[in-house]
Amino acid sequence: MLLDDERAYRAVAARDARFDGCFILAVRTTRIYCRPSCPAVTPKRRNAEFYPTAAAAQSAGYRACRRCLPDAVPGSPEWNLRADLAARAMRLISDGVVEREGVPGLAARLGYSERHLTRVLTAELGAGPLALARAHRAHSARLLIETTDLSFADIAFAAGFASVRQFNDTIRAVFAATPSAMRSTRSATTTAGRITLRLPYRPPFDAAGLLAYFRAHAVPGVEHVTDHGYARSLRLPHGQATVLLEPATGYVSCSLRLTDLRDLGSAVSRVRRLLDLDADPVAVDDFLASDPALRPSVLARPGVRLPGSVDGAETLLRALGHDAPGEPLEQPDGPVTHLYPAPSAIDSPVARALADGTLRVDVGRDADELHAELSAFPGIGPQVASYVVMRVLGAPDIPLTSDNIAWRPWRSYAAMHLRRTA
C-alpha cells in the first residue's frame, strides 16, 4: 500500500478519487469494502480497515460495495513503480495467467516455487495467488453480466470459473447479490458481436499525445488512428480480437470484438497497459514541473502517458523494423484487417528466439534482467532494449534520451515530454 493507515483515512474523509485503486477501505460494521472516494457516509476511524487489494478484503470476509463498485477503478500505479516479485505477479495475474496455467504456471514464469510465491504475495498483498485470481475472475464476470446477454453458464466459463456453482457462490460472496440482480443494472452497452466498456483513468489524461504517437508508428491493416480514436487487432491467448478506443472525459470508451469471451479480462488488462491508464499523472507532473527545463512542457501537456504494449514480442519486433501486417483476420473490422505476424512467421534470429521461448518478453519479467538480456542479444542493443522495457513493462524510470538523474524516478515520462517538444 502506498501510504499508512492515518493518511489513508484522511484520503477517505476527503473522498479523494486520486487514491481509488491504490488501496481498499473496509468498514467493520457493515462488512463492506469500498474505493476511497465512495460517496457513502465516512465510517468512524475505529471502524475503518485498509487493505492493499480487493482480494485481501474479500479474504477477510468483506463484500464489494454496490454503490461505488470498487473494482471499477484505475489500477494501482504501484505495479509499474515496483519491480519486485509481488508487482510482477500482479501484472501476470491481471493478464489471466492463473486461469490459463494455474498457480504452478504463474510460479514457473516468475522463477519461484509455489510455496514461496504464496508466502510473498500473502505478506505483501494480503492474499495468495488463488485469492487474487478469484478477485480478477469476479471482476471479469461482473463485466460480462452487466454488458452482455450471455447465459450465466457461458459467463462462468468465459470468466474462468470451474463450475456454475463456483461462479454463483463467488458473485454472492463478492458482490452480495445474485447474477440476476446484478444484470438488472447495466453500466455499459452491448451491440451485436461487441462489448463496450468504460475504462477509468486518473486525470489529467493527454489523449492527444497518445493518439499522435500511435499515428506516427501505426502499421496499416493492424492499426487505424483518427483524431478521435485508435483501433487495432489483438492476438490474445484464446483467439483473435479487435478493439476501438475513444477517449472521453473521465474514461476511455473501449469497444471489443472477441472470438472467445475467455479473453475479456486479458484484453482489458492489455488495453489499460497500452494507454497507461493506471498511472498517477499528478505525482508525475508535480515532480517534473519542478525542473525549469520541463516545466513549460508539463504545463502545456498535463497528464502525459507512456505508450504501452499489448504484446511484448510484437513490440520488440516492430522496434527492430519488422512492421508488415501478418495473417488476415477471420472477421475484418473496418480498416483493421490483419493481425501483426506471429514470431514464427518472421525469419530473423530474434523472431526465432521469441518463437522457441529462448527469449521471453512479457509483463512478468524484471526490468533490469530483461534489459540486460535484450542488450546482450545480437542485433538488439541497449537503446532498443530500453524502449522495449519502457513500453512492455510500463517502467517509469527508463533513461530513453539522457541519463539525467534529476528526473528520477520518472525519466520515462521526462523523455516523452522531450520527444513531444522536439
State the DSSP string of 48-85: EEEESSHHHHHHTT-EE-TTT-TTSSPPPTHHHH--SH
Identify the pLDDT of residue 103: 96
Write down how long the chain is. 422
Identify the pLDDT of residue 332: 96
> Please, are residues 30 and 38 in contact by the beta-carbon 8 Å criterion?
no
User: Domain boundaries in the chain?
Assistant: 5-64, 77-184, 195-418
Identify the pLDDT of residue 406: 87
- The rounded mean pLDDT for the chain is 92
Identify the pLDDT of residue 186: 59
Q: How many helices (H) and strands (E) does the chain have?
A: 19, 12
Residues of the chain with confidence (pLDDT) below 50 = 1, 188
> Please, are residues 232 and 340 in contact by the beta-carbon 8 Å criterion?
no
> Please, are residues 197 and 256 in contact by the beta-carbon 8 Å criterion?
yes
Question: pLDDT per residue over 275-302, tens digit each?
Answer: 999 999 999 999 999 999 999 999 999 9
* Residue 315 burial class via C-beta count within 10 angstroms: exposed 0-12, middle 13-18, buried 19 and up: buried
Identify the pLDDT of residue 2: 54
Identify the pLDDT of residue 185: 64
Identify the pLDDT of residue 251: 93
Identify the pLDDT of residue 189: 52
CATH domain 195-418 topology: TATA-Binding Protein (3.30.310)
Take residue 374 and report the three cell numbers written for it: 535484450
Secondary structure (3-state) at 162: coil
What dihedral angle (degrees, nearest 10) is formed by the CA atoms of 394, 397, 401, 403? -160
CATH domain 5-64 topology: DNA Methylphosphotriester Repair Domain (3.40.10)
Question: pLDDT per residue over 152-204, tens digit each?
Answer: 998 998 888 989 999 999 999 998 889 999 887 655 455 557 888 889 999 99
5-64 and 77-184 agree in CATH topology: no
Identify the pLDDT of residue 225: 98
| CB-based burial, 226-252: b 16+ in 10 Å, e otherwise | eeebbbbbbbbeeebbbbbbbbeeebb
Predicted TM-score (pTM) of the model is 0.89
Other C-beta atoms lying within 10 Å of the C-beta of residue 186:
12
Distance, in Å, from the CA atom of 388 to the CA atom of 93, rounded to the nearest integer, reads 21
Identify the pLDDT of residue 75: 83
CATH architecture of 77-184: Orthogonal Bundle (1.10)
> Please, are residues 202 and 281 in contact by the beta-carbon 8 Å criterion?
yes
